Homo-oligomer: A and B are copies of this chain.
Amino acid sequence: MRSHYCGQVTDALLDQDVTLCGWAHRRRDHGGVIFVDLRDREGLVQAVIDPDVPEAFSNAERVRNEYVLRVVGRVRRRPAGTENPNLPTGAVEVLVRDLEILNRSEPLPFQLDDDDTSEEVRLRYRYLDLRRPVMQERLRLRTRTISALRGFLDEHGFMDIETPMLTKATPEGARDYLVPSRTHPSSFFALPQSPQLFKQLLMMAGMDRYYQVARCFRDEDLRADRQPEFTQLDIETSFMDEQAITDLMEEMIRAMFASVLGVELPNPFPRMPYEAAMQRYGSDKPDLRIPLELTELSDVMADVEFNVFAAAAQDPKSRVAALRVPDGGKIPRREIDGYGEFVGRYGAKGLAYIKVNDSAAGRNGLQSPIVKFLPDEVLAKILSRTGAENGDLIFFGAGTTKVVNDALGALRVRVGTDLGLMNREWAPLWVVNFPMFEWDEQAGRWNALHHPFTAPRVDDPAEVRADPAGCLSRAYDMVLNGTEIGGGSVRIHRPDMQSTVFDLLGIGAEEAAAKFGFLLDALKFGCPPHGGLAFGLDRLVMLMAGAKSIREVMAFPKTQTAACLLTQAPAPVTEGQLRDLNIRLRRTP
């Protein structure tokens, strides 16, 4: 039906005939001639309809915005002075000799070039929203990204294998979406939170290298930027240790960034132990684009009279830390107060600071309400450790380690962004050496920091049992610009270690057999050492697109309450359907 896409009509086609199909993006009548900007996936081109082709002209007179057209014409240079340098097709136009209206359009419920349309309207008419060039570009970026990742994995011998969607409750810990079984009354499938166990089983099956672009489901309250269904690039390998796995995976991400965005990421990615990340950035996913770091001061503050600092310094579950802001002395008082409120959101009780006016002048050169509480040698240590210079500002955090890390970690990003300190566009790294367990005060037992199938760094189950708190895991997270985009681990491949970890996590033998019996069985029959990871594709593409939400890089996302405004799902069903499934509704409260 067409010879070219609209966006391909450049001066390379001068004097040639073209047949184009697309949407009337805009129609103008000027000097008795009709101009139609014809739009398709590849771009816009200007079509000109003269009254001396009466049939085409009379059709063109009926054209309204978003009518679907097919035009036949000849490409010619635009008259001098009417070129549009902002369009790749802007040097030419198509002189139309035939114009067919393939379909009409009622006036749209919103204007495609209005960037302020409410998200509700955009989602309800998603098929119109997706006509906007910015949305087309985002979905295309997604397609290209996934295709590049697949290409790399195919080349490296990974097999794309599909795992079931109708499966058993998985252990990720979020709420499952359930699917009632008709053929097994009173039983339910769960939609997978991830293909974790199936990919491990594929390693036990000797598949050696597996990947899947896998839909995953979590029925969580959609705080933050979550979706009930999301997409993971799920990967697993056999006979590779964490160094080999992370090397290969960062090579993949580098190759993808180079081919899709033309961006060269660092080689290698920095690797940072979890402990150091928390110490220096207050976060296990530090945004390294911002060249600010926390400075540890707990040892310095243990004996000061200022009790806020001293108490935190003496408590092993607390810390005192500083954040030096170069040239931060210029930050007005009002903004500093704002930062005080900001850290309050993370539980900090206040935000102490020192302005360094003249470091040579001793305490007189330091401007701050807290200076009077601190002895000279402490002040000197603060300056030397932070490396503060005249004109700098130093923020302080003191309290439980969690609050200090959360508060100063967030402040670091906020201040760095406000002051325009970001010194590069892309900052990937690996965070490694995570603790194996964290203590759950409420439940009074250990939780897995990753998941129960993550291998510890030691091989002997007795060592794990002897010191769960000190036990590190073989997990790794890939972090990009302060967002975790992927994470994984080397897995447990011996049944005794798996049973030990289940036990420490409070999963008794009976529960383990009921939930994971097939895994424990499988570990007995020659399970290879294996490991892998999963990338959150929605989030990765969101970062690459510079979009603010993963909803912007999904074709048909759901709302915060997990509804589809376009199709009006979920929806009531018939009594007959419920009866088939052996369920009934509860009375709604």
A-side interface residues toward B, CB under 8 Å? Answer: 1-2, 5, 21, 23, 39-41, 66-68, 70, 102-106, 108, 125-131, 136, 139-140, 142-143, 146-147, 150, 154, 159-169, 175-191, 197-198, 201-202, 204-208, 215, 217, 219, 228-229, 231, 238-241, 244, 493-494, 517-518, 521-522, 524-529, 554-556, 558, 561-564, 566-573, 577, 579-586, 588
Contacts and interface: CB of A to CB of B under 8 A. Distances in A.
Nearest to A130: B205
A103 B229 contact: no
Contact of A105 (B128, B142, B526, B588): B526
A584 B586 contact: yes
Given A130-B202, A188-B573, A573-B169, A526 B66 contact: yes
A105 B584 CA distance: 47
A21 B528 contact: yes
Contacts of A67: 526
B569 A168 contact: yes
Contacts of A564: 164, 166-168
B570 A181 contact: yes
A229 B577 CA distance: 19
25 contacts: A5-B208, A41-B206, A41-B208, A68-B527, A103-B493, A127-B202, A127-B205, A128-B205, A130-B206, A140-B159, A162-B231, A164-B558, A168-B571, A169-B571, A177-B179, A178-B180, A178-B581, A183-B563, A185-B586, A186-B572, A188-B572, A198-B555, A582-B586, A584-B585, A584-B586
A215 to B, nearest CB: 6
A215 B179 CA distance: 15
A201 B162 CA distance: 26
**Residue in A5, A146, A154, A201 with the greatest tally of chain B CB atoms within 10 Å:** A201
Contacts of A201: 126-127, 556, 566
A205 B131 contact: yes
A205 B5 CA distance: 16
B166 A177 contact: yes
Contact of A179 (B40, B142, B191, B204): B191
Contacts of A164: 229, 556, 558, 564, 569
